[in-house]
Structure 1
Amino acid sequence: MEFREDILGAPYEAAELTLRPDDEGPVCATLVRRLVPGSERAVLYVHGYNDYFFQTHLADHYTALGFSFYALDLRKYGRSMRPHQSPNFVRDLAEYDEEIDEAVRIIREEDGHRRLLLNGHSTGGLIGSLWAGRRAGRGLVEGLFLNSPFLSMPAGAAVRTAGGPVVTALGRLAPTRVLPSALNPHYTHSLHKDHQGEWEFDLTLKRPESFPLYAGWLSAIHQGQRRLKRGLGIDVPVLLMASTRSIATTKWTSALHHADAVLRADDIAAEGPRLGRHVTIVRIEGGMHDLVLSGEAARAAVFAELDRWLEAYLDVDLDVDLGVDARPVEA
């Protein structure tokens, strides 16, 4: 496996993972890494929808704790998008098992890490959870940290129930049909420093208006969430974080900086116990959808609670202030 300097520059490296082609042609994923020499611990980060890895301060936090940091840009996302592909598109979330399996193999076998944490955000949290459920009993990961995972559609229960069969049928019959997107462009604007945010990222890889929303992708999400409803049986400790509140608005408001503007945070927390028998749920006051991109106070709470959990359940020896009250709940 050949790693070269990543688009983020040193100390980040990236390698292209060649995957099985699909009906659109060649397929690849991209594995980004930042090694901590001599470390036996590593974390693998999986991004969300309309997203890619750019959160270097997250990597800073992990590497300061002695974790080598890895991130996957999944097929048809970010660094892995190719001109012949429908961006962000799959028909089944299990398709991502191929790149996650290969990334885990590289981290453990080629790079020699004995302990691995999986960290997923939003859609990446759902994808990673489904993968961990299918790989239970194999000892591939020691824990999961889920940042606002996409465990439930951002709609009322009646709409989710009635709309499910329609979404499934449309995804099967016309998978590449483009549907109206409900993603609010103000969410991305609330993050990017050229608008109302504080972060720098490539707006061609994480678009304010999002990429096309395909019926087949939405059906894949629906099927994954139906599988969650039956229980995933994840056999390692899980830390699930979500904001204390959500916001739905079509206009700009500063409240976007203090709530989840993409998913329903209460629904995320309610679905958490279905992941496995050992799930810790933490609600972050003032948290945005990507909790690690929240304002300074909420971000500090996220990292303090992550550290507390790592020390308690992954036996990571830390010298941190555990005094932040972010309302942990054991489910």
Structure 2
Amino acid sequence: MTETPHTPRYHTDILGDGYQQLTLHFPDDYDGPVVATLIRKKGTIASTKAVLYIHGFMDYFFQTEMAERFNQQGYDFYALDLRKYGRSKRAHQTLFTVHDLREYDPEISKSLQIIGEEGHDQVILAGHSTGGLICTLYAAHHPFHPLIKALWLNSPFYDFSVNLLKKKVGLPLLSKLGAHLPNVRVPSGLNIWYVPSLHRDFHGEWDFNILWKPKRYSSISLGFIHAIHEAQKELRHGLHLPVPTLVMHAHQSYFPKKWGIQAQKSDLILDVKDIERMANKLQGDVTVMTIHNGMHDLVLSGPTVRDWVYQQLFSWLSNKKL
């Protein structure tokens, strides 16, 4: 293909082996210059079908097996490292900072535009955890987008995993404070065994950058709490999703204080009952599916479990003629 001044200039990605990355530039925000990173892995046969994947909180794209599974099924694979995450984090920024989830709309819209310009006419918008919440809202806010044909949501962050008192009193108060004091930090409450359950240097089988997906993350900003809480309020008030949607989650949650093998057969981050309850409030063609022995990121579960995840996902897509 002849390159023109408007042709995106991809470079070899850190993942190698056919992975390429493209830096997307956006106007400065409250922290200064902003970029996001679009990663792609094209299949061996030309396709008009693609998937755009959005990672979760304290995360970035490294799940090469997922990309290759989609390639094998005839999809070109794209993923975003959102602003201030992973490949996109710049020295003047604090990791994971956000005041409103709509801040991510420009990189999603730009990525979809590029995917369309690269010859695709249908996109599966996929997201994990916070990325699942972001994808849900983006699809609901853009009901007539010409490319988005389905949603796949992997353990979406539809509610905070806290007790009822904190949900009814504590979180609304922190969210209100976060609208005015976004940089104030409070304890994260994240389970300390989640990343060790995944990384091969500890108890898991996966290799990823501990600086971008840290073993421990003791505090979060009130701005993040505000952004998530406001988005989740939209869900509680009812959202209509304009395309077929598959919500997957583990069969159980587990919040251990010491290491045990059950950590690799459970969601350590979210309460799966919250995911199911909120997913059932969504309006439209929505399928909610429980994955036995799944982890929080279902595609990082044990080999037998993730094989089942992909089998169910691609069967569902086939039934939807996608």
Give the TM interval when normalised to the shorter protein.
over 0.9
Q: What is the DSSP-based 3-state SS (H/G/I as helix, E as strand, rest coil) of the residue aligned with 1:142?
A: strand
Match of 2:176 in 1: 169
Output the CA distance in 2 between the equivalents of 1:175 and 1:38.
Answer: 45
Is 1:50–1:211's contact at 8 Å kept on the other side of the alignment? no
How far apart are residue 137 of structure 1 and its match? 2.2
Superposed CA offset, 1:197-242 (max 9, x none): 0011111110011374110011100000001111221110000000
Alignment of 1:285-300 (within 5 A): 285-300=292-307
Match of 1:13 in 2: 20
Match of 1:54 in 2: 62
Moved more, 158-167 or 213-222: 158-167
Q: Which amino acid aligns with 1:210?
A: Y
Output the CA distance in 2 between the equivalents of 1:248 and 1:159.
Answer: 17
CA RMSD of superposed structures (Å): 1.1
Output the CA distance in 1 between the equivalents of 2:164 and 2:318.
Answer: 37
Match of 1:82 in 2: 90
Is 1:88–1:211's contact at 8 Å kept on the other side of the alignment? no
Aligned residues: 314
Q: What is the percentage of aligned positions where both structures have the same residue?
A: 42
Alignment match of 1:73 (pick from 42, 62, 81): 81
1:197 aligns with 2:177: no
Q: What is the DSSP-based 3-state SS (H/G/I as helix, E as strand, rest coil) of the residue aligned with 1:179?
A: strand
Gaps of 5+ in 1: 317-331
Is 1:87–1:212's contact at 8 Å kept on the other side of the alignment? no
Output the CA distance in 2 between the equivalents of 1:158 and 1:185.
Answer: 23
How far apart are residue 99 of structure 1 and its match? 0.4
Q: Which amino acid aligns with 2:209?
A: D
How far apart are residue 97 of structure 1 and its match? 0.4
Output the CA distance in 2 between the equivalents of 1:34 and 1:60.
Answer: 8
How far apart are residue 168 of structure 1 and its match? 1.9
Alignment of 1:20-169 (within 5 A): 20-36=27-43, 37-108=45-116, 110-169=117-176
1:270 aligns with 2:266: no
Alignment match of 2:189 (pick from 182, 186, 208): 182
Moved more, 129-138 or 158-167: 158-167
Q: What is the DSSP-based 3-state SS (H/G/I as helix, E as strand, rest coil) of the residue aligned with 2:71?
A: helix
Output the CA distance in 2 between the equivalents of 1:97 and 1:232.
Answer: 17
Output the CA distance in 2 between the equivalents of 1:89 and 1:250.
Answer: 27
Superposed CA offset, 1:171-222 (max 9, x none): 0221011111111221100000010000111111100113741100111000
Moved more, 137-146 or 4-13: 137-146
Pair 1:212–1:20, CA change in 2 (3 A): farther
1:240 aligns with 2:240: no
Moved more, 234-243 or 271-280: 271-280
Question: What TM-score do you get using the length of structure 1 for normalisation?
Answer: 0.93
Is 2:121–2:147's contact at 8 Å kept on the other side of the alignment? no
Is 2:172–2:229's contact at 8 Å kept on the other side of the alignment? no
How far apart are residue 157 of structure 1 and its match? 3.2
Alignment of 1:310-325 (within 5 A): 310-313=317-320, 315-316=321-322
How far apart are residue 277 of structure 1 and its match? 1.4
Gaps of 5+ in 2: 1-7
Output the CA distance in 2 between the equivalents of 1:21 and 1:275.
Answer: 34
